[in-house]
Amino acid sequence: WPHAKCSMRGILAKPIDSSAVSHRPSLHGNLSGVGSSPAPVRRQSSPSSSPQSPAMAPEILLATTSRNAAEWATQIRAEGVELQVYPDEISDLAAVRYAVVLNQPEGILAQCPNLEAVSGLGHGVEYIAQEADSLPDHVQLFRIVDTKMAERMANWCLWAILNCQRKCDAYYRAQLERRWEHGRIEEYESVDNADFHVGIMGLGVLGGALAEALLRNGYPVSAWTRSRRTEPRFPCHAGRGELPAFLSCVNVLVCLMPITAETEGMLNADLLRLLPRGAYLINAGRGAIQVEADLVTALDEGQLAGVVLDVFEREPLEEESPLWTHPGVRVFPHVSSFTPRDAGVKQVLENWALVKAGKEVPPERHMQRQRGY
């Protein structure tokens, strides 16, 4: 399976150089949008020059390169919590026991020698997975799991499915050209829900919420996962060997998988050829799962009738990308499901309170190191 351009690179656990810190592109829709030139980490002050001694430095670090980092810091502090905040409010990383992160500068977690736990600010946690090998095994890793976020994703996917099912983009193009296409686009025969088979790749919290919504609306559903899942209400395929059977009958394929070494570049020409000719693709998982050149070729050759993309190999999507203007592509800037900030703050603080009390954090919030999500 060829790999996409955006690779799962390793992280070098080297001391942070305050004059040049490497920054990840923002890959997570919940807090998308990274400034073109984030500020470097301010050099840590010595006890003699700092108004706050290292012993008094906050034990919680907020490290994100997202544009709305200030809003997260404000809301966490509104709960009476003291923070060290990347990049300008770092007083002593040795005091940090808990890190709250999203697309954090590479290597910053490895510079926290007393770290006990890390929480991501979203459902996807590839930015934590990329640093997991540099962290001691005792450091607990968490993600946000929120019903409102799952509902938002399901709603966005339902819109995208209906857009494909009723050929809404063709009607919009006709509107722009002032063409009254009565009956010609759908040939006087709308496709009913019961006749539009939806295949879901990835059946975690988000994929499960979408499956529930589809079943309520009368769609035939099937799913594919890397490992075997038991689901009595619809077929659930597992492993590479069952991909042909899974893909052969779907009208629209929805990808909600996390990015791992195994899923990187998976939506490529070989996989797309297994779909029925004229199928649709929706990807709201991660951009590195798709090979965009192969998507364009499949569209041009008629193998795909259309794609709806909320994630891309490189984000922000480059201005010269053919996806912007291709008539078969609908582009969204990684907005399908934002993290509800109030619920996110509540959950990351609750995680830390449980850890400090020696209690178990709900298992669904744990990131599994061996799986990378």
> What is the domain-level CATH number for residue 250?
3.40.50.720
Q: Is the domain of 85 the same as that of 216? A: no
Q: Is the domain of 138 the same as that of 152? A: no
At 123, the pLDDT band (50, 70, 90 cuts) reads: confident
Range of the domain at 138: 29-145+339-365
Residue 284 in domain: yes
Residue 16 in domain: no
Residue 12 in domain: no
At 373, the pLDDT band (50, 70, 90 cuts) reads: confident
In tens, the pLDDT along 229-258 reads 989 999 999 999 999 999 999 999 999 999
CA angle 286, 289, 293 (to 5 degrees): 115
Q: Is the domain of 129 the same as that of 225? A: no
Q: What is the pLDDT of residue 16?
A: 43
Q: Is the domain of 114 the same as that of 245? A: no
Q: Is the domain of 103 the same as that of 181? A: no
The region that residue 239 occupies, defined by phi over 0 for left and psi between -120 and 50 for alpha, beta otherwise, is left
Residue 370 in domain: no
**From 36-45, 131-140, 159-168, the region with the lowest mean pLDDT:** 36-45
Global pTM reads 0.85
Residues with catalytic roles: 286, 334
CA–CA separation, 107 and 16 (whole Å)? 7
Q: Is the domain of 169 the same as that of 240? A: yes
In tens, the pLDDT along 275-286 reads 999 999 999 999
Q: Is the domain of 294 the same as that of 345? A: no
| Domains identified in the chain, total number | 2
Q: Is the domain of 167 the same as that of 290? A: yes
Residue 256 in domain: yes
Residue 5 in domain: no
Q: Is the domain of 321 the same as that of 351? A: no
Q: Is the domain of 89 the same as that of 228? A: no
Q: How far is CA 303 from the centre of its chain?
A: 26
Q: What is the pLDDT of residue 56?
A: 82
Residue 68 in domain: yes
Q: How far is CA 144 from the centre of its chain?
A: 11
Q: How far apart are the first and last CA of the chain?
A: 21
Q: Is the domain of 130 the same as that of 169? A: no
Q: What is the pLDDT of residue 17?
A: 42
At 180, the pLDDT band (50, 70, 90 cuts) reads: very high
Q: What is the pLDDT of residue 358?
A: 98
Q: Is the domain of 131 the same as that of 162? A: no
Residue 22 in domain: no
In tens, the pLDDT along 67-110 reads 999 999 999 999 999 999 999 999 999 999 999 999 999 999 99
Closest CA to 161 of 203, 221, 242, 206: 221
Residue located via tokens 């966490």: 76
